[in-house]
Structure 1
Amino acid sequence: MPDLDAAYPRPEHIAPAEWAARVELAAAYRIFAHLGWEELIYNHLSLRVPGEPGHFLLNPFGLHYTEVCASNLVKVDGDGRTIGDSHWPINPAGFTFHGAIHRTVADAHCVMHVHTTPTMAVCCLEGGLSYTNFYAAQLYGKVAYHDFEGITVHADEGARILASAGAPDHCKPVLLLRNHGPVVIGQTLAQAFNLLWVLQRACEVQVASQPLGPLRAIPTPVLEGCVRDSLNFNTHFGAGQDSFDAMRRVVDRIDPSYRG
């Protein structure tokens, strides 16, 4: 594979750490499109800017995920105000809770929100996520719920979403917005991606198995062991960086233009 860093050099006006974060986040948008997790121009993945407290990167509102690249990501402050120049706005519904989470939760370096069919289906179930399959078992004790209040464009809902998640001291990394969709919070982008991937698979299996009959329960000690042993988001095992890197290589082979 050619030297992609050389093919897509960093603009001189952007610091190296910020550019690396931009490239990583743009890669995530392309990975989501590759996996079919995009939603037209909607939904949001946000990432803190390294070394710039209170500044975050977010997708330009109006672009499909396959059009997002490092240079057109929008830098905003904690209230969603654009920092520097941008030809694009951001989705006002996108930063209502993203901003609140980033501002309040110290480890919330990356926040992701999607509307995939299986995750939304589980968010619409009265019982929510069922800890009855291999993937769901890894999320035991990590999931909180927030009741549906409509489209998330009202700033005051951010505080209620935080309270539902248990922030700031006991914030769950997976928040299921009832009747809406999931939000995941990662200490790194790779960890957030893996949380979402495991949640997606858990919901796919639940939606497929529920119509077949009663779901077989998993004993609590076994669930606790699955959480302890999971490689997907445990920082001791790299928090899923290897699997994110593998998917990044996939999109590099398809179209590396996200790096520009």
Structure 2
Amino acid sequence: MATQMKPKFEYSEAEWKVRQDLAACYRIFDHLGWGESIYNHISVAVPGENDTFLINPFGLLYDEVTASNLVKIDVEGNNVGQSQYMVNKAGFTQHAHFHKHLGEKATAICHVHTTATMAVCSHKDGLVPTNFYACNFQGQIGYHDFEGVTVRAEEGDRLVENLGNHSILMLRNHGPVVMDKTIPGMFVKMWALQRACEIQVATLSQGEANVISQEVVDVHQRDLAVMASQGGAGVLDFEAWKRRVSKIDDSWQS
């Protein structure tokens, strides 16, 4: 494994840590097949700074993202770092609004267009409690009707309103937005949501599904909360996947 050296530009220790974790997250998403050409985004707030966040350089594939080429922008869209890359307006509009208005709740955010999650976002009933993973999210998802590509700032208020007190917003006919206080927490939530959607699509292709009762869903979520205390939400999962992608290519660290 390569030595984790900082590039010529100096960053605070805290920023360099989240840069590396965010770059690793892009590589993990790519490895899992969650990329979408040069589109879609994962962002993270910069520790100790007000209203600035890191996001992928527009034009690079996820397996080209590194800690040092991530773009630092403020919530008004200004490039406040050293990167010469531009940022996709659709990604900025959506992510900036969540970072600006939700604070710590939206420290880490991803938006994807995976086939399974887009299919469920396009289903009239959204995510249905037909499988283990889907039960994780019942009553914990907001839905937002499709308004076209998200480039208009005025849509941001409706996104926040429809999210409510949840941490997942299913953009109908589009794709999910998943957020958390940490990158590992966001990652493991996205992983479970992807599995829930894959299984729902497979289940409904067979015909009528066996829907799990709300009583059982409540018990499931209660017991999940106990399991979540083991190592912190997603930490062990995220570190395991970092090891996997590092064996393939550890250039994300630079």
Aligned with 2:5: secondary structure?
A: coil
Q: In structure 2, the residue corresponding to 1:183 is in which secondary structure?
A: strand
In structure 1, give the amino acid aligned to 2:20. V
Alignment of 1:13-32 (within 5 A): 13-32=10-29
TM-aligned CA distance change 1:51 to 1:187, over 3 Å: same
* Match 1:201 to one of 191, 195, 202: 195
- Mapped partners of 2:110, 2:70: distance in 1: 15
Partner of 1:94: 91
Pick aligned residue for 1:10 from 6, 24, 44: 6
SS at match of 2:142: strand
User: Per-residue CA shift, 1:174-193, capped at 9, x if unaligned?
Assistant: 11000000000111111111
Deviations 1:102-125 (A, max 9, x none): 111132110100000000001111
Unaligned runs of 5+ in 1: none
Q: Give the CA RMSD over aligned residues.
A: 1.6
After superposition, residues 173-212 of structure 1 pair within 5 angstroms as: 173-212=167-206
Change (3 A) 1:252 1:233: farther
Pairwise CA distance, 1:95? 1.4
Identify the match of residue 242 of structure 2 among 206, 231, 248. 248
Give the structure-1-normalised TM-score. Answer: 0.93
Corresponding residue SS for 2:127: coil
In the alignment, what sits opposite 2:66? 69
Q: Distance in 2 between matches of 1:176 and 1:232?
A: 26
1:139 is aligned to 2:137: yes
- What corresponds to 1:52 in structure 2? 49
Displacement, 1:232?
10
Deviations 1:224-250 (A, max 9, x none): 222233269946751011001100000
Deviation >6 Å, runs of 4+: none
Q: Structure 1 residue 221 and structure 2 residue 215: aligned?
A: yes
What's the % identity of the aligned pairs? 48
In structure 2, stretches of 5+ residues that fail to align are none
What is the deviation of 1:84? 2.5
1:151 corresponding residue in structure 2: 149
Q: What is the number of equivalent residue pairs in this alignment?
A: 252
